[in-house]
Amino acid sequence: MWIEVPVAALLAVSGLFALASAIGLVRFKTFLQRLHPPALAFTCAAWCVTLASVLYFSALGHKLALHAWLIVIFMFMTVPVTATLLARTELFRKRTGGHGADVPLALSLASEAEFTSDARPAS
Amino acid sequence: MSPLLFGAIVFTLACYVLAMALALLRMVRGPSAQDRVLAMDLIYTIGMLVLLVLAIRYRSEMYFGAALLIALFGFVSSASMAKFLLRGEVIE
């Protein structure tokens, strides 16, 4: 079946993307740098596998099989939430752990104002 | 299934296993707790991709539900761990 050629290419590219993101996760120096490489797996690798799956099952069943998109749409919504929470965790823990000089003060205070109950306006 | 697709699937799964091993290394070695949470999130996602590749390998659509569940649990666990590190409690 000729459709197997693009499917195989997409799968191989997705494997390489996942490997690159893991290598980046191991090799980068600080946490805020390490926050970036997993996004490669969350976007490029997941999209390649989903596209391969849609192509393959559409060709197999002779009709459009789009249910694999659900996973990518779900990750599209959830991955930024996790990344934002982890970045704010890093800022908060660095500041409360005595490494405040490494963290820009405005950024740190903005994340604290949103997440600590002391900073909320009294109602 | 042609030998080309079979070889591509084996190559992809080998890459995924290597990536999960590297993320596990970061999870064991990670200096801070948020490093470990990030590595766990990556391992969850790659495990979900493994299921999607196995769905192509065995031509079965049963794997999609499992992949969706793994994505859901990965998000819930990572978000709640990050929330715990940020506030000291998950549900207020």
Residues sharing a CB contact under 8 Å with residue B60, sequence separation 6 or more, in sequence order: none
Say how far residue B86 (Cα) sits from the centre of its chain: 23
CA distance A75 to A81: 10
Nearest CB partner across the interface for B42, out of A22, A67, A92: A22
Q: Which of residues 3-32 of A touch B (CB under 8 A)?
A: 4-5, 7-9, 11-12, 14-16, 18-19, 21-23, 25-26, 31
In a domain, A123, yes or no: no
Burial code (b: 16+ CB inside 10 Å, e: under 16) for B71-90 equals beebbeebbebbbebbeeee
Q: How many domains does chain B have?
A: 1
Question: For the whole model, what pTM was predicted?
Answer: 0.86
Domain of A47, in residue numbers: 4-117
**Residue (of A91, A80, A83, A81) closest to A113 by Cα position:** A91
* CA of B42 vs chain A CAs: smallest distance (Å): 6
What are B11-53's pLDDT values in tens digits? 999 999 999 999 999 999 978 888 999 999 999 999 999 999 9
In a domain, B34, yes or no: yes
Domain of B51, in residue numbers: 3-87
Q: How many domains does chain A have?
A: 1
Q: What is the pLDDT of residue A119?
A: 47
Q: What is the pLDDT of residue A66?
A: 86
Cβ separation A22–B22 shorter than 8 A: yes
What are A63-97's pLDDT values in tens digits? 888 888 999 999 999 999 999 999 988 888 887 77
